[in-house]
Structure formats: structure tokens, C-alpha cells
Structure 1
């Protein structure tokens, strides 16, 4: 991912509020405002959108937004508006969430929480590049039967919370390390 892509993504997902960027509740901002704030030209922005490795950025005419992954604090987005802009889905198969060994005990007790983000990110398959973090050590299988699940335009599946009982499988990415813990 390019430096410009990271800058645009960071602004639209985490710092729009503190930087004074006007943004709708579902994350849309005027491209001209983003360009002005970041000191970029349109060609650089278009390249940043194209080079974003997780397809996080979405352009619609004179507007741009991050598809998902917004912070709650200080951002003008709301969970409700984001969900209304995404597709509601009803998966039959397990969904997957990547995490670290260190986080597993807390997840077993409290479930998957979005932390400082609007939603928990899930993937449709173990090998999916969608929703995949770089430091994944454990893949948790989530039964989506009782969850409200949405799909963002870049394919990431999202829900507000996953209760401990919905986590029905845990697969180590590195089996030797998992069996040692």
C-alpha cells in the first residue's frame, strides 16, 4: 500500500473529526475537501484508491469514503448509517476472525468486541484475504446464525459483537505454538 493510500485511509477511518473534515454519518466526504486537507492532487488520490491493497476506499462521483474500519471516537460516522449503506447478508457457513494467542482468553470470556472501532471484522473463509490481519496466530470460527452480519463494498463482513457462545472453533495458524499454549 502506498504512503498516500495509507494517509487517505487513515483520515477517512480515524481522524476526519479531529481534522475538521465534513463527513456524512455513513462515511462520505467530498473529494475536494480530502485533497485540500491532505495537500494532494486528484491524480495522486486516484492512484491511492487503486493501490489500496484491501480495497478500503470507495469513490462515487465527487465523494470518497473508507468502506469500513472506522474508529468510534471523534468520527462523525454512526453504526446505524454505516450498516444502512452496506448489504445485509445471512451466511450459512462459519465466518472467521483472526487474532493473537494473547487475546484468546479474553475473547473466550467476553466474545469478540469491536474495541475502538464500529464493528468486528469477519472473513467468509479461513484463507480469505478479506478481513485478514497481518499478525494472525489463531483463526476463530464464528457461527453467524444469531448475528446481524453486513458486507461492506470491499467484501469485509461486519457485525457489532460476537458473543462467546457463537465462537465454535479455534484453529492455530501455527499448530506447534497453539499446542504449547
Structure 2
């Protein structure tokens, strides 16, 4: 991911409030305001959007937003507005969440919580590129039957939290099939 892509993602996901960027509750900001805030030109922004490896950025005319992954504190976005902008889905298969072994004890007690973010990220399949990180050691299988699940424009699946009893599998990661990214 390019430096510009990281800067745009960081602004739209985490620092818009502290930087004074006007943003709607569902995460949209005017491209002209983003360009001014980051001292970028339109060509650099368009290249950054196109080259973003996780397709985190969404453009609609003269607006731009991060598809998902927003911080709760200091950001003008709300969970409700984000959810209203995403597709509500009803998965029938297990969903997956990658984590490390050190987090398993807390997850068994508390489930998966969004922490300082608006939502927990899930993947539709074990080999999905969504959520791949080099620190992933365990894939948790999530029974989504009683969860509200949403799909952002870039395909990431999201829910507010996953209770412990919805986690029905824990599979060690096979590094040959799950490389960091």
C-alpha cells in the first residue's frame, strides 16, 4: 500500500475528527476536503484508491470514504449510520476471524468485541483475503445464526460483537495457506 493510500485510510478511519475533516455519520467526506487536509492532488488520490490492496476506500462522485474499520472515539461516524449504508446479509456457513493464541483466553470469556473500532471484522471463508495479518495463529469459526451481519462495499463482513457461545471452532493456521498481508 502506498504512503498516500495509508494517509487517506488513516484520515478517513481514525483521525478525521482531530484533523477537523467534515464527515457524515456514515463516513463520507468531500474529496476536495480530503485533498486539502492531506495536501494531495486528485491524481494522487485516484492512484491511492486504485492501488489500495484491501480496497478500503470507496469513491462516489465527489465523495470518498473508508469502507469499514473506523475508530469509535474522535470520529464523526456512528455504528447505526454505517450499518444503514452496508448490505445486511444472512450467512449460512461459518464465518471466520483470525487472531493470535495469546488472545484466546479472553475471547473464550468475553467473545469478540470491537474494542476501539465500530465493528468486528469477519471473513466468509478460511482462505479469504479479508483479515489476513501476519500475527494470525488461529482462525475462529463463528456461527452467525444469531448475529446481525453486514457486508461493506469491499466485501468485508462486519458485526458489532460475537458472543463466546457463537465461536464454535478454533483452527490452527496453516502458514502455507494463510500468508500475512
TM over 0.5: yes
1:179 is matched with: none
Deviations for 1:81-129, whole angstroms, at most 9, x for unmatched residues? Answer: 0000000000000000000110011000000000100000000000000
2:68 is matched with: 68
1:152 counterpart = 2:160: no
Unmatched segments (≥5 aa) in structure 2: 176-181
Counterpart CA distance in 1 for 2:150 and 2:89 is: 5
Unmatched segments (≥5 aa) in structure 1: 176-181
Q: Which runs of 4+ in 1 moved over 3 A?
A: none
1:140 is matched with: 140
Backbone CA RMSD of aligned residues: 0.9
2:96 is matched with: 96
**Preserved contact between residue 70 and residue 117 of structure 1 (Cα < 8 Å):** yes
1:178 is matched with: none
**Preserved contact between residue 131 and residue 157 of structure 1 (Cα < 8 Å):** no
Counterpart CA distance in 2 for 1:159 and 1:10 is: 21
Matches within 5 A, 1:101-120: 101-120=101-120
**Matched pairs, number:** 175
Q: CA deviation at 1:130?
A: 1.7
Structure 2-normalised TM-score? 0.95
Structure 1-normalised TM-score? 0.95
